Every structure is written in structure tokens, then in C-alpha cells.
Structure 1
């Protein structure tokens, strides 16, 4: 068994960590995790207030899922994607049963980026078109196609990119210099602008419009009432495939099985990952509508992955969906989300540095500003010259509150198993650390 010193030494010497300059890293050595908590090698406990990467919906150490993986490993750890396997068939059926009524079949992948890569390909195959619309404040993955699909700065290293990717603006009401009288008015404005851009790009060339149903790490931007319905109407009008990326927002995170259910909208394609297995084994997928599924009855699906519908992952997925139901986690996300939202509103009212809070279910973010009146962001877009966001995340971690930030927003997305007293404990820590930011902006 490796000592703590060896673990850290080997990690520094041999691992490359994502999104980081390697020399400055000093990673914690984690030795245990259970429920909403994990512990480092010094025995310090952390509340996992971002569900790791907004994927650990059922929390750490769920025995049912672990047992399902063990049993499958002993029975049949791998079988190529061309064969029918019990857990593979069972999970596909369960996914379609949970999805909106218009959905027909699912293509399994290993994660969110692969799901979006294959959704791009499917949309192009069924339409014969080449342009793909996606939003500026979006993240769809770090592989080359998914990075081109993404709108935020992590796409820059993949540019010049693949021809045909077109960006449009999010319905980001907090940052819009218009005083909308209602959500519906805002929705109409954004849908009309999108329609205008579609006309400029040529509707006959556009294969798909991709959206995170609720923008995730880029600020939990929740669509105003009527927006998703308006996009659905545009897609129907021009024969464009509507794709909802639910990698983060799906599987109960918003208090519904899928976030699009909050607005009774049926996309043509849903991409997912994260909450289907909660990271116990990597798994993602592309759910396609019945008409798209029928298209591939006669036309070849030019998608393929060695580990498509991996039996260990499918076993974990079946068990995870049972955990959601047995522990009533979808309803708990909805109920605890109301409590979290109430506490976040109190924090917004109290702290000069908090410009806005946005939340739905247990999917929320705090947007930090230098000035509430002007709404000047705490850090410039794509930059953090004083490392203030990093310092704040470090202070939260010191207090036992683990999460991450992106741009000028802090993610608050705890496991769906969280209890009211745990939310209250976490908000006390957050409130205390925000005092530091209040002093900084003075």
C-alpha cells in the first residue's frame, strides 16, 4: 500500500491534471468518501457542495450501486457492443421510460463529450446539413468536436476549428441591458434574435441547435418562460434538430428526471452522462426521438465506440436509477432546492458582492460582482488577475466546503441526498467566506 507521501509524489510526477499549470498544483490526498462528505489524508472532512463535477447525485459510497458493479464484474465484465446483454437491454428500456414521451432509442457512450460528439453526427446524418448552432456561455466537452460546440474560453485551444459551428447568445437576462417587463417578453426577444440569425445563416444549412437546457458551469442560466418552447417552434419551422444537453441538468438535478420537463418541451435529441451512474462507472448517452430512431432502421448509424453500453456501466446505471426511486431523490431535489433557494436569496440580500443567485432544484450558482448597481463582474470574462475566485474557493475548502468556480460564478450543486440541516451548515460557511469578498470589493 502506498503511503500518503508516495501518493502525492507519484501524482505530481506522473499524472497530468486537467485545466491546470502542473507546477503550481498541490492536490489533496483523499482517503474516504461517504454520503455528501469526503475526507483527506489528515482526516479533515469536506462537504461536497458541487457533487464533485455535478455528477455525484446519489452521493459517495452507495452500497447498492457498488454491489451491482461487483456482481456484474463476476458475471460478465465486458462484451462488445454488437451483442445483446441483459443489463444493456434493461438500462436502455429504463432510460426511454424516464425520457420525454417522444423519445425512441438510446445510443450509449462513455461520457458527456462523447454524447455530444455523437449527437452532432446524428443530427448531420438525419438532416444532410452541416451547420451546428450553440450558445456562447456553454460547455459541451473537451474533445475536439465538443470543444468546437462549446462557447466559453475552453474552446480557444481548439481553434481554428471545424467549419460550420455558429454561436448565438444565451437568454442571460441579468446581463442584458434591457428592462424586460416579464420572462415571456425576454423569451420573445431572445427567440426573435435567434430567428434572425438563422435567416442570416440559411435555415436549409442548419442541422441542429444545441443548448444546455439550463446553462451549467457558465452560470446556471435558467431559460425564461416561453424560451424553450420558442426554440422548439423555430426548429419545427425550419426542419432543424433541437438538441438539449442534459449532461449536468438531467437525472433529477432540477427536481425532474430531465430539465426540459420543467417546461414541457420535447427535444429531438437529449444528451446525458454524469447522473446516470453518478461517476461510479463512466457512462453517457444520446437519446433520440422516435422519428430519428426510425430513420436508422433503413440508414446506417455511422457511430461506434468500443465501450458503447459497457456492461459494468449499464449495471451501475440500472442500480442508480433504482436508488433515485427508492430514496425519492427527484422529489428531495425539488424540496431541498426550495430551502437552498431561500438561503441563497438571504445571502444575496446581505452581501454587496453577490449580484445575483440562480437556482432550480439543487442546481444553483452565485454570481459575484464589484458593484450591484452597475453589475460589473468581480473578474473580467476569461480572466482572474488577482486570483480572487481561486482564493475564495480555497477559503471555502479550508472551512470544509468543497466546490468550484467558473468566471465570476460559484457553483452550489450538492448531492440530491442532502438534508436541510446540511444545507444550513453549508450556508453558514458560505456566508462567512463571502465577507472576505465584500471586503475585497471595497
Structure 2
């Protein structure tokens, strides 16, 4: 093509940034030129790496360094604090770009259809994660009033939530945890956190690293129950998987530990399927049904147990939100697509693509995100005959449009300014950073309007 390729990416988390990087390299290797604009509804980039990873996981946060290199390379523009569907629409994109890649991820909790799940004191894990990660669009306070808490789920998010609930807040101080979160955790009366999974101890979805970190918590007893072990007839076969073998060894070590001296306890319950949240006006207990393995999976045993708790957190997965003007599969929580091409029934929609969790659902780690983006970019570059036909190139068209609509957008320089400000806040206290939480304050710092 004679003019440079222009692509919009909706979402500046890992999926969107990796897609931009892969597209940039592919077009340049082919001798072409490309302009890529990233649109992000938050004032800061990085999505769930910034707002979905617990603050005491600095190793995972290191991913930001690689993402930042892409943003600062000069080819990709960032338009933060821009809401798709309100501040910019599909019609706008079709007028300004050859195509769009949707990479909006998944930020809501997947539903858990059991009685009582809507009682006061029952929460979605995603909302709690957003609170302790300082998301600007959630309330600054969180009701931490329960002594006994249930966490439903056996994935990494469930363990993050359990760890944050039971960990002593002073042990979070070296991290970037916001001040309002520390204050909330300091007031928590929690003594016991119970984590429930419907599978056995070798069928969990969390990683060995996540599990091992639980056992390192100060003044927290790890409680596991002998009745949950030796139940699965396929146990020895499962242990041939190296990751499962490590998990098994960690759990076996905990079974040998002496407990009873710590002020807080974290209980892991396996073979326990949530049946109902109980309470008269608010959460008072969680009822679970014991499960057992079958050749085809799991079945209930008919044995029910009740655990007195005053709060329940469901961590059974994430779910994406629909985007205005874009097809959406309400059942699966994804944009319907074939290898990244957005589909309207059996018909691909020209110029529209998807990558990341909005494409495949909320599964997989960073490695999956990269391979996922590569597949989508291959489809996009192979579809040159069906790209949109935008207006003549104008570098200032998007800033002018946003300015006309009164949008206070943030850019790469603004993110660097906010990043430096947060690190400066943390420096006197020996902390990596102190995260700025209010959206308006983030925008003012980014736009140098304080």
C-alpha cells in the first residue's frame, strides 16, 4: 500500500501492547510503515498487570519493564483516559484507521449461581482486587468487618485474595500498596480465612510459586486436612507432572507442621463444592457439598457441611464486558471471532480483530497472550483487501477529535510523569512507589496540571 498502515488498539494492557509490538515488527520486516494508536479507558497503561496483580508480587510486576519499552519506542501513541463508545466510537475508528484490534481483557467476576450469593457480605474477588490495587473507579473503602472469611476458588486469584486478607498489613509496607488499603487492612478483625475448591489437592489451578508464598506468611498457620489426601485414584499418575509434584510436596510439608501458635489461620479445603451462602439479611455461613472423583470428573457425595463465616469472596474466574457496536457472546463473555477475526454470525467483519481475554476468554498467562496476538496480527495482515478505507492521513486528527469532545486524555509522556511521581512518593519510605488512586489526580499529574 502506498500510505502507511493505521491501526487502533482498544486496551493498553499486555494483550494490546504485545499486539502493537508484533504488528510494528511484522510491518517493518515487510518494508512497510505503520502507525498504531492505543486507546485506554484508564489514565495509566498496563491493565491487569497494574490493577490485577497483588502488590506483594513485584516479580510479576516486572513485566511492566518490557511493556514500557514498547510504549517508549516512539511508534505507538497512547491515548489514556479515553472511554471507547463514549469518547471514541467504531464510526470514528472506521473514518481514521484501516482496522481496529480489541484487547480490552476481562475485569468483571464470572457469575456463581448458588443461593444466597447476593447477600450483603458476599463479594466478587475482582472488585476486591481492584480495591487493593488502587483502581481509580472503585470506592476507596472496603468493608473488612469479618473475623471468619470464605474464599471460593482454587486459582491464583483465589490465593491472592486469601493472602491479602490474612497477611499482616505491616508486611505489605515495602510494596506499592496504597495508603487507604493499608488503613483498611489494619482495621480488619480477621482471624481465619477458608479457601474452598471442588477438586482435590492435585487438581488445583494455582501455580507452585503462589502456593509456596502462602507458607511464608508471618504469624499465619497453614491448615490442611488429612481427609482430603489419598482420595484420587489417579494421584500417582498426576504426580508425573512436575508442577503437580511440587504442589503435592508443598502440601505434604504443611501437613507435618505444628500449628496453633499463630494469630491468624489460612485453611485449605479440597473436595468442597459451594452449595449455598447462608444468612438472615447478611452472610452468616457457607454450605459446601463434599465431592469425590469419578472416571468422568466429579460428583457430589450428598454430604453437606456448614462453615460459620461473615464474608464470602467468589474467585471463580473473570468475565469480559460487551463493547458498544461490537458483537458479543453473552454466554462465553468474548467477542465472537475466528483466529482473531471478529465475526457477525458466520460473516467476518472487515477491519475488526480481537486478541487477549476478550478473544479467547480469561485463561492463560503472558506467554499465551503473545502467541494469541501473533495469530491475530497474521490474520490482520492477510486481510489487506478488506481493510477499512479511512480519510487521508492526518497526525493530529485524533488529538483534535478528543479535544473537541472535551476529553482530558493522557499520553506516554504523561504516564512517565505519573510513574516518576509515584516512585518519588515511595522513596522517603523505602518503597518502590505509592500508587496514586483518584482518577482526577492521576489525570492532573499526567497532564502536568497540578
Asked whether the two chains share a fold, i.e. TM above 0.5, the reply is no
State the TM-score, normalizing by the size of structure 1.
0.26
Larger Rg computed on CA atoms = 2
Decide which structure has greater helix share. Answer: 1
